[in-house]
Amino acid sequence: MTSTTPITAPAVAAERERESGPARRRARRRRVLHWIAVHSVAVAVALLFVLPFVFVFLTSVMSDDQAMSGDLWPHAWHWENYTTVFRTDGFLDWWKNSLIYAGLGTLFTVCSAIPVAYALAKFRFRGRRTAMILVISTMMLPPQVIVIPMYLVWAQQFHLSGTLWPLIIPMAFGDAYSIFLLRQFLLTIPKEYIESAKVDGCGELRTLLRIVVPMAKPGIAAIALFQFFYCWNDYFGPQIYAAQNPASWTLSYGLESFKSAHSVNWNLTMAATLLVMAPVCIVFFFAQKAFVEGVTLTGVKG
Amino acid sequence: MALTLSGPARRRLRTLGFLSPWLIGFGVFFAYPLIATVYFSFMHYNQIKAPTFVGLRNWKYVFQDMPLFGPALWNTLWLVVVMVALRVVFGLSLGLLVTKIKSGVGFFRTAFYLPYLAPPVAATVAFVFLLNPATGPVNEVLSHIGLTGPNWFNDPSWAKPSLVMLSLWGIGDLMVVFMAALLDVPKEQYEAAELDGAGAWSRFRYVTWPSITPIVMFAVVTGVVQTMQYYTQALVAGKIASGVSIGPGSVIQPGYPDHSTLTVPQLVYSMGFQNFNTGAACVLSLVLFAIAMAVTMLLMRKRSGLLAAED
C-alpha cells in the first residue's frame, strides 16, 4: 500500500455516520441484530455439542433400572457407580497399560522426531525433497496396509504378541506425523539464531539441544500431546497385539469389552466412558494453547 | 576427530546421523512390510504352514468371489464421499461462525472443540447409547416433541448416517484449522470489497474463498485418506449396537446391521486375524494402499507448498 491512500473503509464509514443521525441509528440497529443472530446460532450449536456429555453424565449416576428406562434425569444420584467401575476386574490394569503405552510412546516419539525434523528443516542436502515426500507418504499410509507382515514379525520372530511392545518400540524410530509437524514448526525459527550459535563455536548437536530445542518448546509440546492422545485413543493397535491377553488391554480397548460384559448396565458403561475421556480433557485444559497451535500448524502453515 | 574427513563428507555423515532414527524406521516399519504385503498377496498362507505360491488366486478371489468385498468397498466409498463433504462444509461453517462471535469466544470454541478430544471408542459407545432406539435420550427427546426417531445404529439404512453424525460431533480439529485460515485473510480486501458494495455472499465468494481454497483442498485430501482408514467407530458401533456379548476370540459377522457398517479396513482385520486368510487380507490392504496413494499424489501436486523450505 502506498502512503497516499489514507482513506480506509472504517474512516469512510465513520464519515458517513457523522453526516446523518438516522443513518447512524440504522447502522447501529443492524449491528445489534447481527450480534443477536450470530450468538443465537452459536448457542444453539453449542448446545448440540454439549448435550451428549450431559446425557452421558446424567446416565452415569442413575440406578441400574433407571438407566434402561429412557429417563433423562436421575431420581437419585448414585455416585457409587464410579467406585463400582474402579473395582471391576482389570480396570486399574487398563489404566496402568494405557499410561505405559501413552507415556513411553510419547517419550520415544519426541526423542526420535527432534533430530529428524531438525535435519529436514535446517540442513541442505541432496534428496531432502524426496525425504519429505516419503515422510508425507508414510503419514498418509493406512495402518491396515502393513499390519499383517508386522504382526507376523512381532509374533513369530520376537514372540511379543500379547504385549504392547510392538506398538511402543517403533515409536523410537520416528513417527511421520510428528516429524512433519515439528519440521513445519522449526521452519519458523530464523536461521540467524542457528548461525550465530555456530559462529560461537557450537557443534550441530549442541546447537540443537541448547538453541533449537528451547525455542521449539511449543512445537515439541504439540507433538507430545498429539502422540499421547493418539496412544490413549488407539484401538486398532491394542486389538492386534494385546487382544489375546487381557492383562495387556488398554482403557480404549477394555472399554468396549466392559460394555459387552455389562450388557445391561448402561449407567456403569457411561461412568466408565467418562473415566476414559477424563484424562484427555484434563490434559487439554492445561495445555490448550499448545494443542490448538499444533492443530493449526498441521493444516495451515505450509 | 582424529580422522581427517573432508567438509562435505562430514556434513553428509552428520545429516545421516540426524536422520538415522527415521531412516531405520522407514526401512523396517514401512518399506519391509509393504514389500512383504505384496509378497503375501501372491501366497496361500494360514500363518501356521509355510506359505505356498498361488499366483493371482487371491486377487481373483477378492475381486470375483469374496461376498463381503462389494459391500465393504461400497460402504467405505460412501463414507468417504458423504463424511468428507459434510465435514468440510460443517467445519467451514463452524469456523466462520466462530470468527463472527464477539462475546464468549473462549466458551464457544471450547464447546465446539471438546468432542474432538473424546477417545473414539468412548465417543462411539456414548453415541450408541444416546441413539438407542428404545431407551436412548435422543429418541426420548424427539418423542416429547411429537417425532418418532429412527432405529439409528440398528437400522441398515440409518447406521452409516449415525456414524456421520458421530464424526460431525468431533469436528473440532477442522474448525480450528479453518478458523486460523479465515483469520489469515487480509482485512483490507474485505474493506475494499465492502466499499465496492459487495454483500456477504459476494465477500465470501470473491475474497474469503480464493484465499482459503488451499486449506479446503488440504482438508479434503487428508479427510479422504483418514476415512479410507475408518475402522474403530464402525467396528465398535456395530458390536455394541448388536448387543452380543463378545469374549476374546469369538468371531462375529462384522458390519452389523446387515454389513451396513462393514468397511475395507475391518475386512482386512477379519480376513487376516479371524479367518487367517493372509493372502486375501494382503490383497485388500493393497487396494486400500492404491486408493490412499492416488489421493496423496493429488495432494503433492496441488499443495506443493507443503514441501516448501524456509526460502
The reported pLDDT for the residue numbered A302 is: 37
The reported pLDDT for the residue numbered A102 is: 96
Secondary structure letter of residue B50 according to DSSP: P
The reported pLDDT for the residue numbered B233 is: 96
Indicate the pLDDT class of residue A50, thresholds 50, 70 and 90.
very high
The reported pLDDT for the residue numbered A67 is: 84
Asked if the model's pLDDT at residue A300 lies above 60, the reply is no
Give the lowest-confidence range in A54-63, A260-269, B166-175, B275-284. Answer: A260-269
Residue B142 lies in a domain: yes
The reported pLDDT for the residue numbered B73 is: 94
Asked if the model's pLDDT at residue A4 lies above 60, the reply is no
Which residue in A has a C-alpha nearest to residue B192's C-alpha? Answer: A9
Q: Give the count of domains, chain B.
A: 1
More confident residue, A89 or B123: B123
The interface pTM score, or ipTM, of the predicted complex is 0.89
Residue B129 lies in a domain: yes
Contact A187, B311 (CB under 8 A): no
- pLDDT, average across residues A70-94: 89
Asked if the model's pLDDT at residue A171 lies above 80, the reply is yes
Q: Which architecture does CATH list for A87-299?
A: Orthogonal Bundle (1.10)
A21/chain B closest Cα distance in angstroms:
21
The reported pLDDT for the residue numbered A5 is: 46
Asked if the model's pLDDT at residue B310 lies above 60, the reply is no
pLDDT cut 70: percent of chain B above it: 91
Which residue in B has a C-alpha nearest to residue A143's C-alpha? Answer: B229
Name every chain B residue with its beta carbon within 8 A of the beta carbon of A300: 177, 180-181, 184, 215
Q: Do B125 and A121 touch (CB under 8 A)?
A: no
Name every chain A residue with its beta carbon within 8 A of the beta carbon of B273: 151, 240
- pLDDT, average across residues B10-26: 92
Give the span between the Cα atoms of A78 and B101, in whole angstroms. Answer: 39
The reported pLDDT for the residue numbered A40 is: 94
Grid look-up 512445537 returns: A219
Q: Do A128 and B32 touch (CB under 8 A)?
A: no
Domain coordinates in residue numbering, chain A: 17-80, 87-299
Indicate the pLDDT class of residue A196, thresholds 50, 70 and 90.
confident
Domain membership of residue B161 as a residue range: 73-211+222-255
The reported pLDDT for the residue numbered A172 is: 96
Which residue in B has a C-alpha nearest to residue A41's C-alpha? Answer: B97
Give the span between the Cα atoms of B255 and B244, in whole angstroms. Answer: 13
A131/chain B closest Cα distance in angstroms:
9
The reported pLDDT for the residue numbered B65 is: 92
pTM of the model: 0.89
Asked if the model's pLDDT at residue B12 lies above 80, the reply is yes
Q: Is B12 exposed, middle or buried (0-12, 13-18, 19+ CB in 10 A)?
A: middle
Q: Of the ranges A83-97, A247-261, B152-166, B198-212, which is most confident? A: B152-166
Query: Can you tell me whether residue A23 is helix, strand or coil?
Result: helix
Judged by CB atoms within 8 Å, which residues 147-176 of A form the interface with B?
147-153, 170, 172-174
Residue B299 lies in a domain: no
The reported pLDDT for the residue numbered A253 is: 92
Asked if the model's pLDDT at residue B56 lies above 70, the reply is yes
- The pLDDT tens digits for A17-49 are 555 678 888 889 988 999 999 999 999 999 999
- pLDDT, average across residues A285-294: 80
Give CA separation, A44 vs A38, A39, B146, B179, B182, in Å: 10, 9, 20, 19, 22
Give the lowest-confidence range in A26-40, A212-226, B109-123, B245-259. Answer: B245-259
**CA nearest neighbour of A302 among B96, B226, B310, B182:** B310
- pLDDT, average across residues A123-148: 89
Name every chain A residue with its beta carbon within 8 A of the beta carbon of B232: 235-236
Residue B186 lies in a domain: yes
Radius of gyration of chain A (CA): 27
The reported pLDDT for the residue numbered A3 is: 41
Residue B16 lies in a domain: no
Q: Do A292 and B141 touch (CB under 8 A)?
A: no
Residue from the list A140, A148, A280 with its beta carbon closest to the beta carbon of B37: A148
Indicate the pLDDT class of residue A71, thresholds 50, 70 and 90.
confident
B186 φ/ψ angles, rounded to the nearest 5 degrees: -60, 130
Residue B111 lies in a domain: yes
- pLDDT, average across residues B181-199: 88
Name every chain A residue with its beta carbon within 8 A of the beta carbon of B180: 296, 299-300
Indicate the pLDDT class of residue A242, thresholds 50, 70 and 90.
very high
The reported pLDDT for the residue numbered A76 is: 86
Is residue B257 reached through a cis peptide bond, with omega within 30 degrees of 0 on the bond before it?
yes
Q: Do B114 and A284 touch (CB under 8 A)?
A: yes
The reported pLDDT for the residue numbered B1 is: 47
Give the span between the Cα atoms of A101 and A285, in whole angstroms. Answer: 22
- The pLDDT tens digits for B128-153 are 999 998 888 999 999 989 898 899 99
DSSP letter string, B153-200: GGSHHHHHHHHHHHHHHT-HHHHHHHHHHHHTS-HHHHHHHHHTT--H
The reported pLDDT for the residue numbered B311 is: 32
- Taking the CB of residue A52, how many other CB atoms lie within 10 A of it? 21
The reported pLDDT for the residue numbered A1 is: 38
Q: Do A174 and B180 touch (CB under 8 A)?
A: no
Candidates B80, B88, B121, partner chain A, best to mutate (most A CBs within 10 A) = B121
The reported pLDDT for the residue numbered B251 is: 52
- pLDDT, average across residues A100-116: 96
Residue from the list A121, A174, A235 with its beta carbon closest to the beta carbon of B22: A174
Name every chain A residue with its beta carbon within 8 A of the beta carbon of B310: 121-122, 187, 191
Asked if the model's pLDDT at residue B54 lies above 90, the reply is yes
Asked if the model's pLDDT at residue B123 lies above 90, the reply is yes
- pLDDT, average across residues A250-261: 88
Give the span between the Cα atoms of B170 and B118, in whole angstroms. Answer: 8
The reported pLDDT for the residue numbered B80 is: 94
- The pLDDT tens digits for B226-256 are 999 999 999 999 988 987 655 444 556 678 8
Provide the phi-psi class of B47: left if phi over 0, else alpha when psi is between -120 and 50, else beta: left
**CA nearest neighbour of B305 among B226, B240, B223, B214:** B214
Indicate the pLDDT class of residue B304, thresholds 50, 70 and 90.
very low
